[in-house]
Chains A and B, each alone.
Chain A
Amino acid sequence: GAVVSQHPSWVICKSGTSVKIECRSLDFQATTMFWYRQFPKQSLMLMATSNEGSKATYEQGVEKDKFLINHASLTLSTLTVTSAHPEDSSFYICSARDGQANGANVLTFGAGSRLTVL
Chain B
Amino acid sequence: GEDVEQSLFLSVREGDSSVINCTYTDSSSTYLYWYKQEPGAGLQLLTYIFSNMDMKQDQRLTVLLNKKDKHLSLRIADTQTGDSAIYFCAESIRDTGRRALTFGSGTRLQVQP
- A positions within 8 Å CB-CB of B: 4, 6, 32, 34, 42-44, 46, 49, 57, 93, 95, 97, 104-112, 114
Q: Taking the nearest CB of chain B, how far is it from the CB of A94, in angstroms?
A: 9
CB-nearest residue of chain A to B6: A43
Q: Which residues of B contact A (CB under 8 A)?
A: 30-31, 33, 35, 40-45, 48, 50, 88, 92, 98-106
Q: A104, B31: Cβ atoms under 8 Å?
A: yes
- Picked from A42, A106, A110, the residue with its CB within 8 Å of the CB of B45 is A106
Of B30, B48, B98, chain A has the most CB atoms within 10 Å of the CB of B98
In the complex, besides A42-B105, A46-B102, A93-B42, 5 extra interface pairs with C-beta distance below 8 angstroms are A42-B106, A43-B103, A44-B103, A49-B99, A105-B99
- CB neighbours (8 Å) of A108 from chain B are 45
